[in-house]
Chains A and B, each alone.
Chain A
């Protein structure tokens, strides 16, 4: 069995979010970690490896520094790491990212692709399903549990008030939740091996069946007008109405004033 796990290096939001003066994320000022949902996806893949025997390849797109998360994944037990990095791929939104990753995956053999549900820096939950769409394979999102039997994968999918048991044939893509499992630690020996391991690096030229109009900032339909940290709301206005009718008048008046109604 061959499993590809897509992982992303994200800023650790535990220490607070920091911005550059132009409103973009100051990634240098924040610790970089493996996105938690992706880490759960990697753990799920490593458990399938322990249970059924599998080759686990981790793939990431990002700056050359993103090789760090690939090494972390190898130190946890992944077999190979592939870094997709190229200046022309920078500034990608979810569409351009998924197009790029799908272009990289077209070079590989796989039975299962696992991605995290969403990254803590963008919170879109779009890239995983989009990759499946580009590759024309089924996707099962929000996996809580994954079981494999031959070419059939059974996924327990989290839903609001229940779960779904979904059966799907390989090749397929599964998006994982951080609640899926408790990811294992690296091992000291794994770290030493991972630091010596060769990371395959691919650029634009290595992407298969990808059009220039769909990559990088230029190929991104999403335009971010402005980004900012959460601003604390003020105390607001307080009214002490005498009657219910007066209260309704005040509320309706305010809503009209704000053009809500």
Chain B
């Protein structure tokens, strides 16, 4: 077992670090306070290929692996959790299902511009009554001639109003399974600007404030028949596959937030003096830093392992990375919450002041325990695998 990074990964990490430091960090505070989507950053992410990292070059991507992508989300999230999730939602939740389940025409028409960053992607599964429980879906799609007619709404959609292409799930019928009727769910590709597709409320959130989180509303929204993604009735599988990948992205985001808070705090405790010595000289601080660094390192190994497992999957689709992704997300998210909370505490009163950045990291960390499957859902995934 070799824990050292390859030359490619070391260079990529340096690139992401430099980019995050120069282009993302200077805006992090401002966009958080203004709840403003950082369009200028997204344009730069697109320019340098950060929106298509794990996609094959032939399809407009960078031809890198999932580990490189995870490191990109990690480094961006070290300085700005919002920027991390913009890349993660776009790549894992929109580009990935289109590239995995799309027809050659869909990959060309939607996948390529998304991978090149000319378009931004989003994913709509969650509804007021349906999150991880996909059977709670109310949005319906009915075939009418050569078009599917969508009716319903989706909520909490990341990249909501800023995206151009959306992967949307809807009920397309009923199927009998073990004597019971269950909803048949299918996936669709919907373009922004399609008549009948509008936006509802912008969510006013606790963290990742600059991320554009919206309700999507479909009212007799007609989309071409050929925009069904994958086979009819395979929507649930597509959603679960997509979320497995998405969890690696969110785990990387959580890892980055924790690392960012820890780095900020290490610098702070070396400067802050109390009772005639720096707080770094207090044993309490030292022990807390040691515990946090150890947990962050453990989280990093889980995240990288999950990413590498997904890379194996791309070569051999029989391999499952579902449990690794769930473990990585569960652990990294909880570490992020714990570390950022302790970092605020180590900052004392200054930790509660926005200028110091750690309170933003603490607010941003919370969502990683919730979206793309709560920590409880991750525990369900992990234990179901243990007890099967």
**Is A21 on the interface with B (CB-CB < 8 A)?**
no
Q: Which residue of B is nearest A75, CB measured?
A: B11
Q: Which of B11, B49, B50 is in CB contact (< 8 Å) with A71? A: B11
Q: Are A188 and B7 in contact, CB atoms less than 8 angstroms apart?
A: no
Q: How many residues of B contact A (CB 8 A)?
A: 19
| Chain A, range 185-233, C-beta contacts under 8 Å to B | 185-192, 194-195
Contacts of B18 in A (CB 8 A): 185
Summarize A's interface: helix, strand, loop or mixed.
Answer: helix
**Is B63 on the interface with A (CB-CB < 8 A)?**
yes
Known: A185-B18, A185-B19. A191 touches B12 (CB 8 A): yes
| Chain A, range 45-93, C-beta contacts under 8 Å to B | 71-72, 75
Q: Are A188 and B50 in contact, CB atoms less than 8 angstroms apart?
A: yes
Q: Are A188 and B19 in contact, CB atoms less than 8 angstroms apart?
A: no
Contacts of B15 in A (CB 8 A): 75, 185-186, 188, 191
Known: A185-B18, A185-B19, A186-B15. A191 touches B61 (CB 8 A): no
Q: Are A189 and B64 in contact, CB atoms less than 8 angstroms apart?
A: yes
* B311–chain A nearest beta-carbon distance, Å: 13
Alpha-carbon distance between A190 and B8 when the two chains are bound, in angstroms: 10
* A83–chain B nearest beta-carbon distance, Å: 15
Q: Which of A189, A194, A195 is in CB contact (< 8 Å) with B49? A: A189
* A14–chain B nearest beta-carbon distance, Å: 12
Q: Are B63 and A189 in contact, CB atoms less than 8 angstroms apart?
A: yes
Alpha-carbon distance between A75 and B7 when the two chains are bound, in angstroms: 12
Contact with B along A21-42 (1 / 0, CB 8 A): 0000000000000000000000
Contacts of B57 in A (CB 8 A): 189
Contacts of A187 in B (CB 8 A): 48-49, 62
Q: Which residue of A is nearest B57, CB measured?
A: A189
**Is B79 on the interface with A (CB-CB < 8 A)?**
no
Q: Are B48 and A191 in contact, CB atoms less than 8 angstroms apart?
A: no
Q: Are B11 and A186 in contact, CB atoms less than 8 angstroms apart?
A: yes
Contacts of A194 in B (CB 8 A): 11
Alpha-carbon distance between A75 and B16 when the two chains are bound, in angstroms: 13
Contact with A along B51-72 (1 / 0, CB 8 A): 0010001000111100010001
Alpha-carbon distance between A194 and B12 when the two chains are bound, in angstroms: 11
Q: Are A189 and B11 in contact, CB atoms less than 8 angstroms apart?
A: no
Contacts of A71 in B (CB 8 A): 7, 11
Contacts of A184 in B (CB 8 A): 48
Q: Which residue of B is nearest A33, CB measured?
A: B14
* B2–chain A nearest beta-carbon distance, Å: 17
Contacts of A195 in B (CB 8 A): 6-8, 11
Known: A72-B11, A186-B15. A192 touches B63 (CB 8 A): yes
Q: Which residue of A is nearest B68, CB measured?
A: A188
| Chain B, range 1-44, C-beta contacts under 8 Å to A | 6-8, 11-12, 15, 18-19
Contacts of B49 in A (CB 8 A): 187-190
Contacts of A190 in B (CB 8 A): 49
Contacts of A72 in B (CB 8 A): 11
Contacts of B72 in A (CB 8 A): 188
Contact with B along A1-22 (1 / 0, CB 8 A): 0000000000000000000000
Q: Which residue of B is nearest A194, CB measured?
A: B11
* A251–chain B nearest beta-carbon distance, Å: 42
> Among A184, A188, A192, which residue has the most Cβ atoms of chain B within 10 A?
A188
Alpha-carbon distance between A186 and B157 when the two chains are bound, in angstroms: 31
| Chain B, range 214-231, C-beta contacts under 8 Å to A | none
* B96–chain A nearest beta-carbon distance, Å: 16
* A94–chain B nearest beta-carbon distance, Å: 29
Q: Which residue of B is nearest A185, CB measured?
A: B48
Q: Are B8 and A191 in contact, CB atoms less than 8 angstroms apart?
A: yes
Contacts of B50 in A (CB 8 A): 188
Q: Which residue of A is nearest B6, CB measured?
A: A195
Contacts of B19 in A (CB 8 A): 185
> Among A75, A186, A191, which residue has the most Cβ atoms of chain B within 10 A?
A191
Contact with B along A225-261 (1 / 0, CB 8 A): 0000000000000000000000000000000000000
Contacts of B8 in A (CB 8 A): 191-192, 195
* A24–chain B nearest beta-carbon distance, Å: 26
Q: Are B61 and A189 in contact, CB atoms less than 8 angstroms apart?
A: yes
> Among B6, B7, B18, which residue has the most Cβ atoms of chain A within 10 A?
B7
Alpha-carbon distance between A189 and B11 when the two chains are bound, in angstroms: 11
Alpha-carbon distance between A187 and B63 when the two chains are bound, in angstroms: 11
Alpha-carbon distance between A186 and B13 when the two chains are bound, in angstroms: 11
**Those 3 A-B pairs whose CB atoms lie nearest each other, nearest first:** A189-B62, A187-B49, A188-B62
Residues of chain B having any CB pair with chain A under 8 Å: 6-8, 11-12, 15, 18-19, 48-50, 53, 57, 61-64, 68, 72
**Contacts A/B (CB < 8 Å), 22 sampled:** A72-B11, A184-B48, A185-B48, A186-B15, A186-B48, A187-B49, A187-B62, A188-B12, A188-B64, A189-B49, A189-B57, A189-B61, A189-B63, A190-B49, A191-B8, A191-B11, A191-B15, A192-B8, A192-B68, A194-B11, A195-B7, A195-B8
Seed contacts A186-B11, A186-B15, A191-B15; 5 additional CB < 8 Å A-B pairs: A75-B15, A184-B48, A188-B48, A188-B64, A192-B62
